[in-house]
Structure 1
């Protein structure tokens, strides 16, 4: 039994919960004070380097979430509600396995589309993916800021992960809310102490920050859970966190690659 049972269907929660989680979690980061001693870039750098206003970022995210909601609705429409039946037939372990399978599928899609479609294809980078890279200094609310076409492809990747893993609608609520929080955390621009995501995931805010900088533009493509594909295919750029004289950290590459 879950807290929304009797109030909303699992499918409705699967559509709306990730959107609510996005604004609550990203809003939490946005409401924090500057926290200069934990930032990967100073607030001045954020204001000076980023090429898009906060208002435009918010509009872009809302547009993507509309696409996300429509795709989720169509997905659940095409896969009849079987959550109640699966709850009696599937163990927690089986659902955890499906959760992990979805993570693997999402990781593979994100890496190969991000690297070969969005970066190596000059047309797609110039007219599509470059919109996301207008945030040279990432911040939480901008996690989903991207061109609508890229947003659609990202949303489709979630649908594929759902179908391949065989998870039910109820499990998908947890999976997509967790994925949303992980994406936000990767873009938050902060290195906070005792961050649970940093304890379990090497692919974190500093790892992704490297990719948004000139020296790491062709590296650290992995953008969800694990750096497996980066390490396997030679696009992994390790880094060290160095304290800046005026506070905060800088993710400095350990290896100079060309």
Structure 2
């Protein structure tokens, strides 16, 4: 009796498992005040939603995400044996990865920006995510269910379809995207974090967006900052040490708060 699990099931559920495992890693590190962008007290006082509600919201989004992934794999026939027999080389895989990253970034930038500028969508949908004024790791996917479907799940589906990645490759791509998204919301500036070295779009960059002064800036997520730079929504900042420990991302010049 074979116990093999299909690539489609792995592609559906591995990123969800990775989300909670990687978030758990940051929960263990959360008490290290000297690496935090906000103090533990600020996290408790400034946030407008309980952690239990955040967990429920994330689980709901992941349930919808899993359902869409299963349907997508079924409809596209990505699990056909003939398709699995084709083994792309490294150059092809790299190209597919980059295309998937660019598609995901492009979709999320424009949808994310529109949800900020459309007052109805912001008030009734996107503001739910911004109840986390002080982001933390397992709150990365805390969104209104409609936003989760439109922004994250649809963006993921488009990156899968337009890049041509296989279900097997999607396991790695969506796990990587999940880790990056969790890292962007972790609220910690850890020494040696490769995401901070390799990506300008990182924990501090996204923390700026979650503050009142950055509400109309730094929309790009999760990988690059190109759309913010091209379209004038990039907010440069400096990372400064706080007297009481930890760090703070501060804008390098005054910006209009809308």
Give TM-score, length-normalised by structure 2: 0.95
Provide the C-alpha distance between the structure 2 equivalents of 1:145 and 1:175, rounded to a whole number of angstroms. Answer: 21
Cross-structure match for 2:18:
21
Cross-structure match for 1:57:
54
Given the alignment of the two structures, is residue 213 of structure 1 paired with residue 205 of structure 2, yes or no? no
SS in 2 for 1:174: helix
Provide the C-alpha distance between the structure 2 equivalents of 1:122 and 1:140, rounded to a whole number of angstroms. Answer: 27
**1:1-258 superposed matches below 5 A:** 7-80=4-77, 81-82=79-80, 85-86=83-84, 88-116=86-114, 118-153=115-150, 154-258=152-256
SS in 2 for 1:93: helix
After TM superposition, give the deviation of residue 255 of structure 1 in Å: 2.2
Mapped contact 2:36–2:188 kept (Cα < 8 A): yes
Q: Gaps (5+ residues) in structure 1? A: none
Q: Deviations over 1:200-237 (max 9, x none)?
A: 10000000000000111110001210000000000000
Provide the C-alpha distance between the structure 2 equivalents of 1:210 and 1:186, rounded to a whole number of angstroms. Answer: 11
Mapped contact 1:57–1:145 kept (Cα < 8 A): yes
After TM superposition, give the deviation of residue 101 of structure 1 in Å: 0.2
Provide the C-alpha distance between the structure 1 equivalents of 2:171 and 2:148, rounded to a whole number of angstroms. Answer: 19
Mapped contact 1:83–1:170 kept (Cα < 8 A): no
Provide the C-alpha distance between the structure 2 equivalents of 1:88 and 1:108, rounded to a whole number of angstroms. Answer: 28
Shift of the 40–92 alpha-carbon distance from structure 1 to 2, 3 Å rule, reads same
- Equivalent pairs counted in the alignment come to 253
Give TM-score, length-normalised by structure 1: 0.95
After TM superposition, give the deviation of residue 177 of structure 1 in Å: 0.2
Q: Deviations over 1:37-57 (max 9, x none)?
A: 000000011011000000000
